[in-house]
């Protein structure tokens, strides 16, 4: 990073932005295996929050890799950089007073912790979207597990690359046995109890 940079303070504060929106800005970080239902659940939560009048935005793994992170591959190093960039982007959304959801495999605990440390302690909610590898492979909505098993996708999380499940997530959502509506309702209830909404 250049030493010739100076942080420019803005006139409107994060607190003012949040007060205007009548919500507590935060990052809701969905992590889990491919096919666990991260994007589906994050979309359902965004819809539920939007219909309640909240200002929110969803950063989805596949979508972000088609723009901001289109220059990254899937090596462990590239995955780390992918999450670093998403963490910094999510931090900006929180500063804007928004509730931001991120739906990324984000396989490594260290990188998820780095993302958590970018915002205040009470502004980061880690949601482990839990479904067994068998369930995820059975769903295989994008056909990725089949390709990984055939050796067509190296370093695929859960097959050729490790997934480090959260040890103490803020929320554990079991998408292997619960439907999307039930899971989204659990999340909304949690956000109400936490005073986010």
Which residue numbers are catalytic? 106
Burial class (CB in 10 A: 0-12, 13-18, 19+), 109: middle
Residues 6+ apart with CB under 8 A from 41: 30, 103, 129, 173, 175, 180, 183, 184, 187
Burial class (CB in 10 A: 0-12, 13-18, 19+), 28: buried
**Could you tell me if 54 and 197 are in contact, meaning their C-beta atoms sit under 8 angstroms apart?**
yes
Cα gap 32→120, rounded to integer Å: 23
Q: What is the 8-class DSSP label of residue 112?
A: H
Q: Dig out the tokens for 80 from the structure.
A: 């780390």
Cα gap 68→81, rounded to integer Å: 11
């Amino acid at each position: 990073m250049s030493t010739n940079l100076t942080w420019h303070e803005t006139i409107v504060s994060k607190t003012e932005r949040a007060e205007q929106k009548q919500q507590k800005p935060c990052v809701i970080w969905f992590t889990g295996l491919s096919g666990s239902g991260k994007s589906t659940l994050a979309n359902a939560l965004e819809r539920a929050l939007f219909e309640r009048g909240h200002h929110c935005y969803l950063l989805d793994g596949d979508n972000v890799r088609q723009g901001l992170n289109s220059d990254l591959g899937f090596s462990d190093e590239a995955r780390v950089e992918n999450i670093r960039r998403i963490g910094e982007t999510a931090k900006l959304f929180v500063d804007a007073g928004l509730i931001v959801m991120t739906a990324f495999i984000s396989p490594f605990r260290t990188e998820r912790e780095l993302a958590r440390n970018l915002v205040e302690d009470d502004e980061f909610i880690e949601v482990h979207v839990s479904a067994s590898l068998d369930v995820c492979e059975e769903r295989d909505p994008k056909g990725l597990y089949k390709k990984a098993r055939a050796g067509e996708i190296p370093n695929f999380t859960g097959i050729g690359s490790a997934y480090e499940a959260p040890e103490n997530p803020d929320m554990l959502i079991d998408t292997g046995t619960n439907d999307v509506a039930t899971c989204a309702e659990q999340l909304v209830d949690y956000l109400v109890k936490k005073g986010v909404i």
